[in-house]
Amino acid sequence: MREQAVIIGIAGGSASGKTSIAKQLYDYFKGHHKVKIIRQDDYYKDQSHLTFEQRVKTNYDHPLAFDTDLLVMHLKKLKNKERIEKPTYDYTLHTRSQVTEVIEGRDVIILEGIFVLAEPTVRELCDILVYVDTDSDIRFIRRLRRDIEERGRSLDSVCQQYLKTVRPMHEQFIEPSKKYAHIIIPEGGSNHVAVDLLMTKIKSIVDE
Ligand SMILES: Nc1ncnc2c1ncn2[C@@H]1O[C@H](COP(=O)(O)OP(=O)(O)O)[C@@H](O)[C@H]1O
Ligand SMILES: Nc1ccn([C@@H]2O[C@H](COP(=O)(O)O)[C@@H](O)[C@H]2O)c(=O)n1
């Protein structure tokens, strides 16, 4: 039995396909009960003390929007296979949900989020670093559809947010973090060869 968990960090721009890749890996291994996905987005700072109008104005693509201290504390525990009580996030309300999720120690933790490679304290805790590299026009189209269908947004709000914060922050923080990746996956979840390679690596860890 492994003493420490292996943490696989999956970064990349918004709507690049991080969640899709993480889910494919999780689905493949879910029978083992040894793998768990952690979303960095669940560690956005709690904003319940602000009004909805104030929350909308937050720059969600800046490192300061996240409670990275809490994420690092939880990752250290997960590394030692200790249980954590993870916050969960509500994109429609722009704040933490009331519910938390208890996560027991696992052999493999898949951590996905835009700042996983850009945040040094998070990056250093990951054993395998992956960057999902999808063109920005494709990411924008995917995000537009997803945010309207799943995150309660309007066409105008998605476009405004993209131009005001998502695109400039991507250029300032996310894209430059690609240099820290061990593996770069073009096009995300539809890159079956890359996903298969990651599965093989995880399988070798789970079967140890
Ligand atoms: N290869 C793909 N082709 C078409 N749509 C995709 C593809 N990969 C992801 N999507 C869709 O794009 C949106 C963003 O993908 P997701 O995996 O959640 O990205 P991320 O986690 O990087 O934000 C989702 O609605 C998802 O269903
Ligand atoms: N209240 C929020 C919180 C986050 N976002 C956006 O989510 C993006 C990160 O999630 P992905 O699944 O797309 O990687 C990030 O770009 C934030 O702009 C938001 O819109 N509202």
Reference 63, options 48, 86, 44; nearest CA is 44
According to the model, what pLDDT value does residue 68 have?
Answer: 98
Residue 123 corresponds to which tokens in the numbers above? 């990056």
Taking the CA of 61 as reference, the closest ligand is 2
Question: How does pLDDT run across 108-119, given as a tens digit for each residue?
Answer: 999 999 999 999
Question: How does pLDDT run across 11-25, given as a tens digit for each residue?
Answer: 999 999 999 999 999
Which residue ranges are tagged as binding site?
Answer: 12-19
The structure's pTM equals: 0.96
- In short, whether 20's Cβ falls inside 6 Å of ligand 1 is yes
Residue 147 corresponds to which tokens in the numbers above? 């945010």
- In short, whether 61's Cβ falls inside 6 Å of ligand 2 is yes
Question: How does pLDDT run across 51-106, given as a tens digit for each residue?
Answer: 999 999 999 999 999 999 999 999 999 999 999 999 999 999 999 999 999 999 99
Give the residue whose CA is nearest to atom 18 of ligand 1: 19
Contacting residues for 133 by C-beta, under 8 A, at least 6 apart:
12, 16, 178, 184, 185, 186, 187
Query: 11 pairs with which residues across the strands?
Result: 131
- In short, whether 190's Cβ falls inside 6 Å of ligand 1 is yes
ipTM over 0.95: yes
pLDDT class for 208, splitting at 50, 70, 90? confident
- In short, whether 191's Cβ falls inside 6 Å of ligand 1 is no
Mean pLDDT across 180-208: 88
Separation of CA 9 and ligand 2 centre (Å): 17
Task: Please name the CATH architecture into which domain 6-206 falls.
Answer: 3-Layer(aba) Sandwich (3.40)
Burial string for 38-56 (b: 16+ CB within 10 Å, else e) reads: bbbbbbbbebeeeeeeeee
Annotated domain spans of the chain: 6-206
- In short, whether 21's Cβ falls inside 6 Å of ligand 2 is no
pLDDT class for 2, splitting at 50, 70, 90? confident
Which residue ranges are tagged as binding site for ATP?
Answer: 12-19
